[in-house]
Structure 1
C-alpha cells in the first residue's frame, strides 16, 4: 500500500492545479482519475483566462426573455424537456440567486477569485515552460446592434471603475482592421485587454502535469467511488494498488457527487453541457483573436487544432447522449461572418460544466469530516480559476494565510 500526504480526486484543470500547488509546497500528492488528465470538461473550453469575468452567468429574469428561451431554438441555451423535472430544483434556486440585487452581491464576492486568475496562472505557466501556449492580447465581443454595443460598454465602464478591468471600444472600422476576414455585419466591438487566451487547453493541463511529476507527484488511474475513510485518513483504490493519505481533495467537477453524496453532502450541483468543433479556414483567411458574437451566443477561437467554435449551455442530464443542435445552429451563423472551411473533428465534442445555484464554487474544508476538502462547481470558469483555486486549497491545507478570504466559497453554505 502506497502512502501520500494528499490524494486529489479528479485530473481536470482544477484537480491538476490543486495537486501542483500542493506539490510546490512540499506535499507528497497522488492525483487520481479514471482517465487521462485534462480529457474531460477541461479539454473543450473556450481557452480564456477571464480576468474580466467578474459577473457570473445568471439565469434570465425578464419574463419575455424566459419565454423566448422556451422556444428552445437558440444557440446560447438549449434544454432537454425530459430533464426539466430532475433539474427543476437547481433551476429554481439558480433563478432566485440571479435576482439583480443578489446577483450583484454574488459578483462582489466572486470578484477576488477572478482578480487573481491571470497572476496565479502566470506563475505556473512560467514554471511549466508553457509560454508558447499563451496569447496575451485579450479577446473581443462583437455587436450587431448599437443598443447591445452601448449596453455592454456601459457595463464595461462599471467593471473598470469598480474592479480595475481594462477594455477598449472598437469602431466598425477598427474591428475590420484587426479582423479583416470578419464580415461587415458588426457595428463595433468591446475588446477586453486583461484576459489571456490559451491556444491549447489540453496542452496547458498536460504541461502542469509534467511539472507536477517533476516535483515528485504521482498520477494514478483509479475510481473515486472507491474512496473510504480509515483510522488515520482516507484510502482510494488505483490500478497500482491502494493509496492512503491524511487528506483528500474532491475536484471531480460534475462527477463530484459520486463522492460527496455517499458521505452525506448535497450540493445541488447542476450541469451546463457545451459543445465544440474545430474547422479549417477557407483559403488564406485568418482569425487573429478570440471572438464572441454577442447577440448570437457562440465563440470562435484560433486554437492550435484549428478554429474552435463553441456553443452556449445545454441543460440536460449529465450523462445523456449528445444532442449537438446548438453546434449546428452556431455553425450556420458563424459561416456567414467568417469563411470557415471543413470540419476537422470526427464528431462534435461535448463537456459538462458543474454549476452551483449561487454561481460560486465550493472551495474549502468539509464541515463534517476531518481531512476532506472540496474544490468544484466552477461553472464556465474552470480554466480561469484553476490556478487560484489550487493555491487557495494548498494554502488552507498547509495552514498558511490564504491569498484571499475564502469564506464566501465555504461548503457550509450548502451543508451545515
Structure 2
C-alpha cells in the first residue's frame, strides 16, 4: 500500500487536495475517521461565496464588544472557560481587524476568492454534480434603513473588484420572497455566489470522482501517523492495512494542529463552532433563495432535506459540550420572519470552523518537518476555498509555480 501522498482529512479541503494531486499524476490515498464530507463541510450554508473578498473580521465597535460580553447575542456566543484560553489569539484577531491590517489581509485573501467559482465549476463538471446547484446568489436582509444604507457602501466597494450585486427595496424583497413574514427595509442580493442544496453531498461527489480516477479512500485514524525508517510516512486504516507514502498532507480542519504538534508545529487556531437544524417547508410558502439575516447573523438556506438554519459562531473548543442555546435563540427569531415548519432533525448538528488570528488559511510545507504539508484554517470559507487550495498546494508539492502568490498563506508565518 505505497503511495506518493496520503491526505488526512476528507472534507472539502482534503478531497480537493487529493483530486488535484491525482491530476498531477500522484498516487494518492485519502484517509478519514468517517465517510467523506461528514464533518464541518457537511453543515455549512452551502454557498460558494465569490463575493467574500474580505474575511470575517472581528467587529471593533464598542456596542458590539459590550453586547458580546453579555453572551446573549444570536450571532456570536462563547463558552467562558474556552474563550479565556483563546485570549491571546483573540487579541491578535482584534488587532488584525483594524482597517490598516485588514486592508492588506483582504488583498491577499481576494486572490483565493477570485478563483473559487472557477475551480469549483471545473470539479462540478467533472463530477457530474451540477444537479446540486440550487441557484445563483443569495440575499442579505436588513430591517433598518441605517444598516441597509451602510451595507450599500460595502457592496459598492466590492463592485470595484468585480463583485456583482443588486440593491433591493422593501417592495423588491416582498416581490422576490413573498413568503417572508413582515416588512423589511430592503436587501442586497449578491449575484455571483452559487448555492448548493447539499454541501456534504458535493464533497461526496468530488470524492467519488477521485475514486473513479483510481484514488483510494480509507477509514482510519490520523493519530496513528508515524515516520518510517526511510523518512516517509505511515498511517493505519480501520481495516488493518498500513498505508505508506513519501509525503503527507494534513487537512483535518480544527484538529490539524493536534496532530502537527506531535511533530513540532503548532499554530493559534480559534475554533468557531456552528449549529444547524432542518425544518419542513410550510405548504405553499417556499423560500426562493438563501437568506442571511444581517441583524442576527443566522442563515436560512433551502436544502434537499428542508430549510436549513445555520448559526453564527460559538467560541468553544471542539470537544466542549454542545450548547443548544444559540440555535434555539436563532430559531425563535427566524420563526418570526421565515416559513419554518416542524424540526426535521432529531437534534442540532454541530461543527467547528478553524479560524486563524490573521483570517487567512494555512497551506504549504510544514516548517522543519520534511515531507509534511498542511491545509487548514479556512475559517468560514473552507467550503468555498477547498478546490483552489487543493490546486495551489498540489502545484507546490509537485514543483510547479502556483498561479497566485502563496507566501501570505504559508504555515511558516506561525513557526
- Aligning the two structures, in what range does the TM-score lie when normalised by the shorter sequence? over 0.9
1:243 maps to which residue?
243
In structure 1, how many angstroms separate the alpha carbons of the residues matched to 2:62 and 2:165? 31
2:29 maps to which residue?
30
Contact in 1 for aligned 2:74/2:297 (Cα 8 Å)? yes
Q: Is 1:194 equivalent to 2:192 in the alignment?
A: yes
Q: How does 1:170-185 map to 2 (within 5 A)?
A: 170-185=168-183
* Deviation digits for residues 208-263 of structure 1 (CA, Å, limit 9, x no counterpart): 01100011111111111111122242111112411111111110000002211111
Query: What secondary structure is seen at the aligned counterpart in 1 of 2:77?
Result: strand
In structure 1, how many angstroms separate the alpha carbons of the residues matched to 2:388 and 2:324? 32
2:104 maps to which residue?
105
Equivalent residue pairs, number:
413
1:213 maps to which residue?
211
Deviation of 1:195 after TM superposition, in Å, equals 0.5
In structure 2, how many angstroms separate the alpha carbons of the residues matched to 1:234 and 1:275? 35
Deviation of 1:130 after TM superposition, in Å, equals 0.2
1:271 maps to which residue?
271
1:42 maps to which residue?
41
Q: TM-score, normalised by structure 1?
A: 0.97
Deviation of 1:398 after TM superposition, in Å, equals 1.4
Contact in 2 for aligned 1:224/1:258 (Cα 8 Å)? no
1:69 maps to which residue?
68
In structure 2, how many angstroms separate the alpha carbons of the residues matched to 1:363 and 1:156? 29
1:388 maps to which residue?
388
Q: Is 1:123 equivalent to 2:122 in the alignment?
A: yes
Comparing 292-301 with 232-241, which one deviates more in the overlay? 232-241
Contact in 1 for aligned 2:278/2:307 (Cα 8 Å)? yes
The runs of 5 or more residues in structure 1 that have no matched partner are: none
2:286 maps to which residue?
286
Contact in 2 for aligned 1:134/1:197 (Cα 8 Å)? yes
Query: What secondary structure is seen at the aligned counterpart in 2 of 1:292?
Result: strand
* Deviation digits for residues 327-384 of structure 1 (CA, Å, limit 9, x no counterpart): 1111111111112110000000000000111010111112212211110000100100
Comparing 196-205 with 362-371, which one deviates more in the overlay? 362-371
Contact in 2 for aligned 1:97/1:357 (Cα 8 Å)? yes
2:224 maps to which residue?
226
> Deviation above 6 Å: which 4+ runs of structure 1?
none
Query: What secondary structure is seen at the aligned counterpart in 2 of 1:93?
Result: helix
Q: How does 1:47-58 map to 2 (within 5 A)?
A: 47-58=46-57
Q: TM-score, normalised by structure 2?
A: 0.98
2:8 maps to which residue?
9
Query: What secondary structure is seen at the aligned counterpart in 2 of 1:336?
Result: coil
* Deviation digits for residues 158-196 of structure 1 (CA, Å, limit 9, x no counterpart): 1111x2101110111111111110123311110001011
